[in-house]
Amino acid sequence: MSAKFRVTRREFLESAGALLIAVSVPGVASAQSLPRSVRGNPGLDTWLRLDAGGTVTVFSGKVELGQGIRTALAQVVADELDVSMERLRMATVDTLGSPDEGRTVGSNSVPDGGAALRVASAQARQVLLDNAAARLNAEVRDLSVQDGVITAESSGRTISYWELLSERGFNADIDGSAEPKPYDQHRYVGRPLPRLDLPAKFVGEPAYIHDIRLPDMAHARIVRGSMAVSEIESFDDSGVRGMPGIVTVVRDGNFLAVVAEREEQAIAAAAALRRSTRWRAPKAYPARDALPDLLRRLPTEDSVISQLPPGDTPVVREFEASYSRPFLAHASLGPSCAIAQWDRSTMTVWSHAQGMYPLRGAIADVLGLPESQVRCIHADGAGCYGHNAADDVACEAALIARAVPDRPVRLLWSREDEFSYEPYGSAMSLQASAGVDASGKIVRWRYDIWSCSHSTRPSGGESAGGMLAAREKAGPLPLPPVSDGRQPTGGADRNGIPLYKFADQRVIEHLVLDPPLRNSALRSLGAYGNVFAIESFMDEIAREVGADPFEFRLRHLDDQRAHEVIARVRDLAAAAPPARASGRIGRGVAFAKYKNLSSYVALVVDVAVDENSGRARVLRAFAAVDVGQVINPDGVKNQIEGGIVQSASWTLKEQVRFSADRIETTDWASYPILRFTEVPEIEVVLIDRPELAFVGAGEGTQGPAAAAIANAIADAVQVRLRDVPFTPDRLSAALRASA
C-alpha cells in the first residue's frame, strides 16, 4: 500500500486535503454578529480561493477526524457560492496559510467553522456578483448564477467566476454585509450526500498519516520505562548503535528514542535499548481499587456552579445515590503517528492532532524556537475522540528530527505505548440527592462532582509542559497548573447542571488538584459521567414514586424542543415489535441537551441480561435528535450511531487498570472494546429545523446512552448499577446481593 503513496514533500503539501463542517447563523447583518472564527480571520482570501481551471479551494481551520466534516462543509460552501460540489477542493489545515480556528473539539465545527465558511462564501458570491454587474453592464438583481457562471438575464451575456478574478484574490475583509441564503434556496444542504473521505478508506487506499512515505524518510520509536516521565538511572546504547539500519540513538535528558532506516529495525532497536536501560519512576500509582473514593479524598478546588434559592414546598421524601466512571482510554484503532523534518531553518510537522495552531505553539516552546520557524500540517488519523497521544507524538517527532537534520522522520507509537502513556479520560465520582413533594415532583436538588481536569491540551505558553517530552527533555518545562473548563460549556462540570427545572438547586464541582493518572479530554468530557448519573437518578426516583419515566422527565422540563425529542423517541420505540433474545429484557430511557446549549438527544434502549453469566447486551437503540438545521442527514446519523456504539463500549466494558508501577491495560485483550457482533440495531429520527442555526452532533449521545443502558438493566432485573463499566462480574455481584 505504501508504494502507491510515495510522494515528494511538495506534492504532498499540494494534494493533501482536509475539510470540516460548515454552518451559519441565518441573518448575519453586521461585523458585530460575525461568527467567532471570522472575527479572528477576517480576510476573505483566508477562506476561499478561485483556481485556474475552474475550481475553488476552500480553507478551514477545523480538521477531519473521521466525523465526515469535509462533506458537510463542502455542502455549505457549494450552496452559498452556487457551484457544484465537484468544483470544490478542500485544503488541509496548514499553519502556513489556513485560518486559525484553534482546535476541532466539543462538537463546535458546525457552529464555529461552518458558520464562518457560510458567511465567507456568501460575501464572496456578493463580491463576484458586484464585479459581474459592472463587466456585463447589468444590475445585480438581473443576474443569476449556475455552477459559477453568471448570466445577465436581460441580455443573455455570461461571465464566469474565474474570468472575473483569474489568478487574483478577493482582497477584501468579511464584513457581514452579505446575507446567507434562506434555507429554501439550498441545493445541497439537507441532502444525504456521500462522504468525501470514505471511498479511499473503504478500499484500503492510502488515507491516513500512517500511509505517508516521503523521500529518504527514517523511522523512529520512543523508549520509556513502565511509567512516563521516569528518570534514567543507567543507560547503555553501545550494542544498539551496531544493530542493522540504525541511524542514531537520541537522548535528550530523560527523553530516549531510536532512529533507523526501516520500521522493523527501529522496533528491534527500541526493544534492545529498553532492556539495557534502567529507570526510576516519578511516583507510584494508587491502589488498584482506590477509585472512586480516592477522588473524594484528594485535595480539590471547589466551585459552586449552580445555586438556586430554597423553595417553600415541603419535602416529603428524600433520595440519595452515588455514581462513578473510571479512567478511560481513547483506544484509537491506529496508534498515534507523526512525521517531522528539520531543514535547519523550519521544523515541519505532519500530525493528526486536533489543532495545528495550538500544536505549533507547543512545539515551538518545547524546541525553543519562534513560532515562525515551526509549521504544522494536518493529515488524517485513525480516530482520536479527544486529546489522545497525537500531540505528544508530534512533539517527540520534532525533537527526534532535530537530531537528524534534513531527513523526514516518521515516529509511530506502539499499541503498548498508546495505552501506557496517553492522557486518559478522567475518572469521576458523583453524588446526587433530591427531595420530592407530595405530588412526587422534585423540589430540591443537590449534586456534587469529584473529577480531575478534562483538558490538559498543549499549546504555546505554560500548557506546553503538559506534553511528556517537554518534561523529559534536558531543561524540562514545568507541569502546568491544574485547570478545567467552566460553564456554560464546562469541563468536569459539563452537563452537570440539569436542564430540568428544580426550585431549590445546588451543584458543586470538586476539581482534583493532584490527578492519580495523566488525564485530559475524552469525547464529551464530563458530560458522559454527569448525564449518566443525572439520568440514572431521575429514573430511580421515577420508579420509586410510581411515575412513568417519560412523563416524569417531561414534568420537570419547560423546553419545548426537549419535550419533542422525548415524545418522538417514546413513539418510535413504542411502535417497534418486542425485542427477542435469551435472558431477561428491559427497556431504558434517557435524555440530555449537550452542554445545555447544543444538540437535543433522547434515547431508548433494549437490553438483554443473562442472569447466569451477568452479561448485559444492548439489543437495539432508538434515538430522536434535534441539531437545528441538518446539513447532511446521513452524516448526523453516523455521528449519533457512532456515539451510541462508543458509549455502549465504555459502559459495558472499558476501564484503565493499573498497579503501583504500571498501566496494566496495554492491548485489546486487557482493554476489551465492543465487538462488531455486539453492535445493536439502531434507529435514528432527526427533527430538522432548517430555520435555526446548526449545532454539533458528535458528543450528544454518550451520556444518555450510558444512562439508558443502566435504566434498561434495572428494568430487566430490578438491580441498579451505579458504577461503570457494567462488567459481568459487577452485574453478577449485584444480582447475588439482591437475591
Question: Quick one: 78 and 116 in the same domain?
Answer: yes
In a domain, 409, yes or no: yes
In a domain, 439, yes or no: yes
Band of residue 107 on the pLDDT scale cut at 50, 70, 90: confident
Band of residue 206 on the pLDDT scale cut at 50, 70, 90: confident
- What letter represents residue 365's amino acid? D
Band of residue 17 on the pLDDT scale cut at 50, 70, 90: very low
pLDDT for the residue numbered 29:
40
Question: Quick one: 392 and 511 in the same domain?
Answer: no
Contacts of 421 (CB under 8 A, 6+ apart): 224, 228, 389, 392, 413, 468, 518
**Worst-scoring range by mean pLDDT, 15-29, 408-422, 530-544, 710-724?**
15-29
How do residues 474-488 score in pLDDT, each as one tens digit?
A: 999 999 999 998 898
In a domain, 137, yes or no: yes
Question: Quick one: 394 and 341 in the same domain?
Answer: yes
In a domain, 1, yes or no: no
Contacts of 18 (CB under 8 A, 6+ apart): 60, 63, 64, 70, 90, 91, 92, 93, 378, 379, 380
pLDDT for the residue numbered 433:
98
Question: Quick one: 574 and 624 in the same domain?
Answer: yes
Of 269, 276, 278, 279, which Cα lies nearest the Cα of 248? 269
In a domain, 296, yes or no: no
Contacts of 9 (CB under 8 A, 6+ apart): 214, 215, 341, 348, 408
Arithmetic mean of pLDDT over the chain: 92
Element (H, E) at 569: helix 560-574
CA-CA-CA-CA torsion sign (514, 515, 521, 527): negative
Question: Quick one: 125 and 251 in the same domain?
Answer: no
- Please tell me the distance from the alpha carbon of residue 78 to that of residue 82, in angstroms, as a whole number: 6
Give me the phi and psi of 387, to 5 degrees please: -85, 85
| Of residues 731 and 189, more confidently modeled | 731
How do residues 512-547 score in pLDDT, each as one tens digit?
A: 999 999 999 999 999 999 999 999 999 999 999 999
Q: Which residue has the cell 521516569?
A: 230
Among 195, 225, 257, give the residue marking a domain's end.
Answer: 195
Contacts of 723 (CB under 8 A, 6+ apart): 292, 323, 324, 325, 730
- Please tell me the distance from the alpha carbon of residue 240 to that of residue 225, in angstroms, as a whole number: 17
Question: Quick one: 671 and 657 in the same domain?
Answer: yes
User: Other C-beta atoms within 10 Å of 92: how many?
Assistant: 22
Question: Quick one: 242 and 179 in the same domain?
Answer: no
In a domain, 316, yes or no: no
Question: Quick one: 103 and 237 in the same domain?
Answer: no
Residue 3 has pLDDT above 60, yes or no: no
When pLDDT is averaged across residues 389-393 and rounded to a whole number, the result is 97
When pLDDT is averaged across residues 648-665 and rounded to a whole number, the result is 96
pLDDT for the residue numbered 16:
34
**Worst-scoring range by mean pLDDT, 30-44, 258-272, 539-553, 638-652?**
30-44
pLDDT for the residue numbered 312:
86
Query: DSSP per residue over 419-439, as a string?
Result: HHHSPEEPPEEEEEEEEE-TT
Domain limits for position 229: 209-282+330-421
What angle in degrees, to the nearest 10, is found between the helix axes of 356-367 and 390-403? Answer: 40
Between β-strands 615-626 and 681-686, what pairing exists: parallel, antiparallel or unpaired?
parallel
Q: How many domains does the chain have?
A: 3
- Please tell me the distance from the alpha carbon of residue 71 to that of residue 713, in angstroms, as a whole number: 38
| Of residues 102 and 597, more confidently modeled | 597
> Rounded to the nearest 5 degrees, what angle is found at the Cα of 149, between the Cα atoms of 171 and 86?
90
What angle in degrees, to the nearest 10, is found between the helix axes of 633-652 and 527-544? Answer: 80
- Please tell me the distance from the alpha carbon of residue 435 to that of residue 314, in angstroms, as a whole number: 9
Q: What percent of the chain has pLDDT over 70?
A: 95
pLDDT for the residue numbered 406:
97
Among 362, 395, 421, give the residue marking a domain's end.
Answer: 421
Contact yes or no for 714/544 (Cβ under 8 A): no
pLDDT for the residue numbered 18:
29
Band of residue 696 on the pLDDT scale cut at 50, 70, 90: confident
pLDDT for the residue numbered 26:
37
Q: Is 216 left (phi over 0), alpha (psi -120 to 50) or beta?
A: left
Residue 5 has pLDDT above 80, yes or no: no
Q: What is the dihedral of CA 629, 631, 635, 639, to 10 degrees?
A: -30
What angle in degrees, to the nearest 10, is found between the helix axes of 115-136 and 69-81? Answer: 30
CB-count exposure of residue 29 (10 Å: 0-12, 13-18, 19+): exposed
Residue 465 has pLDDT above 60, yes or no: yes
Q: What is the dihedral of CA 368, 369, 374, 379, to 10 degrees?
A: 0
Between β-strands 317-325 and 255-260, what pairing exists: parallel, antiparallel or unpaired?
unpaired
Q: What is the CATH number of the domain that holds 392?
A: 3.30.365.10
pLDDT for the residue numbered 142:
94
Of 725, 734, 722, which Cα lies nearest the Cα of 323? 722
- What letter represents residue 494's amino acid? R
**Worst-scoring range by mean pLDDT, 60-74, 317-331, 677-691?**
60-74
In a domain, 111, yes or no: yes
Question: Quick one: 151 and 218 in the same domain?
Answer: no
When pLDDT is averaged across residues 688-700 and rounded to a whole number, the result is 90
Band of residue 311 on the pLDDT scale cut at 50, 70, 90: confident
Band of residue 689 on the pLDDT scale cut at 50, 70, 90: very high
Residue 9 has pLDDT above 50, yes or no: no
In a domain, 42, yes or no: yes
Question: Quick one: 414 and 431 in the same domain?
Answer: no
Among 167, 195, 223, give the residue marking a domain's end.
Answer: 195
Question: Quick one: 450 and 411 in the same domain?
Answer: no
Question: Quick one: 594 and 610 in the same domain?
Answer: yes
